[in-house]
Chain A
C-alpha cells in the first residue's frame, strides 16, 4: 500500500500569514497516462471533508486563489498564501493512483 505522510501535523498561523503543508508518498503518484493522482481535502470542524485541490494543483471551483498546490512524483505541497479564520480545519492529502486509496494523517491548521 502507498503510505502518505504529512508535515507538520499541526500548524498555528496568525491571520494574514502564509501556511504550508508537505505531503509525501512512498511511491510516485505519476501514472502512465501522464496524470498525477494527488488530491487535497479540508475537513472543517463538524463538517464532512471537502475536496480542495485536484491532481496536485487544480483548485476546485469556489476554492479561493490563496490556496495553491504544487509538487510532483512523491513530494507535494499545499500553500495558503494568507490564512483566514475560515481556513481552520484539518487538511488531508490523498492518493488515488492505486487501490487502496490512502490519506495522509492530516494537518490541523489553527489561527494563532
Chain B
C-alpha cells in the first residue's frame, strides 16, 4: 500500500520557521517528482512547489520564493518543506503529493498555524 505520512506542523509566530516532513512508502520514491500543496482555512487548493527526483530542480510559487525550500532525502524516502519568515497568510493545511503532472497520491495533510 502506498502511503505518504506527514509530520511537522504546529503553531509558530510570524517570522518564525517550521519544517514539514513527508515519508513515503510503497513506491519508488527516488524516481518520482514530489509536490507540496496548501489549503488556507476555508479556502481552495494552492500549489506551493515541487522537486524533481534527484533534487536538482525545484519550482515555487512567487509568494514563497526565498522563504520556503523543498528538499528530499532519497535514502530516507523523505520529502521536506523548510519554511522560514512565516507570515499569517502562510497558515494552511499543507499536503505532500506525488507529482506525475497530476498529483495522484496525497498525504493526510499537516496544519501550520501562524499566529502571535
Contacts and interface: CB of A to CB of B under 8 A. Distances in A.
Nearest to B104: A51
Interface residues of A, number: 22
B45 A49 contact: yes
B45 A54 contact: no
Contacts of A43: 45
A109 to B, nearest CB: 14
B108 interface: yes
Contacts of A102: 47
A49 B95 contact: yes
Interface stretch (A15-23, A69-77, A79-87, A91-99): A91-99
A12 interface: no
A48 B108 contact: yes
B115 interface: no
